Amino acid sequence: MPKQTFFNLSEEKREKILNTAIDEFAKYYYHKASITRIVNNTGIAKGSFYQYFEDKKDLFKYVIERIGRRKIEYLYPVIKDFDKYDFFDLVRMLYVQGAKFAVENPRFQKIGDYFVKDTDTKLKEEILGENIPKSNEIFIQLIKKGIEKGDINPNIDINLTATIITSLSIEIGEYFVKEMKVKDNTEIMPLIDKMLYILKNGIKNRREDV
């Protein structure tokens, strides 16, 4: 995360640095992104950059964190209306909103696509390791509310279920980017519907219960 000296800057300058970094990471894979280009396009000295961030990875992680924060703000209107919907319908709406967020923020989506395709597993594990708990916590709260409403079996392991949903979401996102090769992120919804069908109905052959 940024050093305190970064937060001592004016909001205008902080946002300029952030937006320039977003542009850079949206044009290049992480390892090809250049601090030199970022500082030149921002108009700051390279030495000043290292007063604000430890290194390029520190800046990249901050960009990912800010994107995640904006996405949560985008999803919040759906989350706050939880009581109006069945748990599974609401989760589907979250994915719909997430797809729209990607379409409406193409730079963010490009950074996400590059991240998914990046072969640096250590970097991916480090960043996912910091962000997965945030996703899990959202699903934990939604699952608890779903149990209260009677939408979900109260005997499930809540933490495990939240982890499974997060893991499935990551894997589906990677499959969508790497294998399906489509430009419109709303086309991910058929995969999400299949995942939600399994979560809602399980994989047991119900004919055995007859």
Domain ranges of the chain: 4-204
Could you read off the pLDDT of 162-193 as tens digits, one per residue? 999 999 888 888 888 777 665 666 678 888 89
Give pLDDT tens digits for 121-162: 888 889 988 888 988 999 999 999 999 999 999 999 999 999
Give the CA radius of gyration of the chain. 20
| Domain boundaries 4-204, corresponding CATH code | 1.10.357.10
- DSSP class per residue in 108-161: HHHHHHHHHH---HHHHHHHHHHHHHHHHHHHHHHHHHHHHHTSS-TTS-HHHH
pLDDT at 161: 95
Q: What is the pTM of this model?
A: 0.85
Taking only the tens place, the pLDDT of each residue in 25-63 is: 999 999 999 999 999 999 999 999 999 999 999 999 999
Supply the pLDDT for residue 181.
Answer: 63
